[in-house]
Amino acid sequence: MRIGLLGTGNVARALAHGWSAAGHDVLLGSRRPEERSDLGLPVTDLGGAAAHAEVLVNATPGTVSLELLRSIGAPALAGTLLIDVGVGLSDDYTELSHPNSSLAEQIQVAFPLTPVVKTLCTMDSTAMIAPDGLDGPSTVFLSGDDTAAKRTAGLLLTDLGWPPSSQLDIGGIATARGQEHFALLFMGIAGGLGAHTFNIKVVPRRPA
C-alpha cells in the first residue's frame, strides 16, 4: 500500500520504518524537504506525499496540522483515508490546544470528503511500532465515522504488530477527544515512571 506521512519527526519516521518493514511503499512529506534528505527515508513536499498516498498519516504537531492540511487543499485529500496521530499541546505540555474538541474532529469537519481515523496517539513512537517490546499486551484505540476506513487502519495497525485482540474501536470521530485528552494523563504517568515508553491495557470485568 502507498502510505504518505505528513511530518518528519520521531513519530513519522518510526511509523515509516515500521510500515516499510512490513512491505508498504512509504513517503514522508515535509515543508522543507530539501533540508530532510539525511533521514534514510524518501522525502518530498506535503503535496507530493498526499498525491502518493492511498493512506495519508498526519504526524505533524496538532497545533499546526489544520493549517498544513489546508495548504494541501481539500480536493487533493478527497477520498483518501487520513490516519491522524497528532495531539495539540502547549509548549510546556500542560494544556490542550483543543480542550473542548479534538484535532481529529476538526479535521473531519474541515475535510468532509476525507475519512478520518484517530489512533496511536496514546503512546510514544517506540511503543507504536514495537508493542511486543512492552511487558505484556496492551490496547490501541480507533475512532472514526467510516467503518471501511477503520478496517483499513486496523490492518495497518496489525502490520505494526498490534493484533486485532489489542485493537479497540471506541466509536465515531467524536470519541477521538478521549484519545487526545489522554495526553495529559500520559505526561503524568511518564513523570511517575521516569520513562515515556509504556502503554495502557483495557481490562474488562471477568465473565461471571
Per residue in 175-185, pLDDT tens? 999 999 999 99
Q: What is the pLDDT of residue 37?
A: 82
d(CA 191, CA 188) in angstroms, rounded, equals: 5
pTM confidence score: 0.96
Residue 80, all three cell numbers: 483518501
Contact, 182 vs 113, CB < 8 A? Answer: no
Q: What does the angle CA 101 – CA 102 – CA 104 come to, to the nearest 5 degrees? A: 140
Q: How confident is the model at residue 204 (pLDDT cuts 50, 70, 90)?
A: very high
Across residues 162-188, what is the average pLDDT? 97
Q: What is the pLDDT of residue 82?
A: 98
Q: What is the pLDDT of residue 38?
A: 86
Contact, 104 vs 175, CB < 8 A? Answer: no
Q: What is the pLDDT of residue 146?
A: 98
What distances in angstroms separate CA 130 from CA 58, 61, 99, 154, 155, one per listed residue?
20, 22, 30, 16, 16
Is the pLDDT at 86 greater than 90? The verdict is yes
d(CA 196, CA 202) in angstroms, rounded, equals: 19
d(CA 13, CA 82) in angstroms, rounded, equals: 17
pLDDT tens-digit map of 10-34: 999 999 999 999 999 999 999 999 8
Contacts of 70 (CB under 8 A, 6+ apart): 110
| Fold of domain 2-193 | Rossmann fold (3.40.50)
Instruction: Return the domain boundaries, the chain.
Output: 2-193
Residue type at 131 in one-letter notation: P
Look at residues 87, 88, 82, 89 and name the one whose alpha carbon lies nearest to residue 110. 82
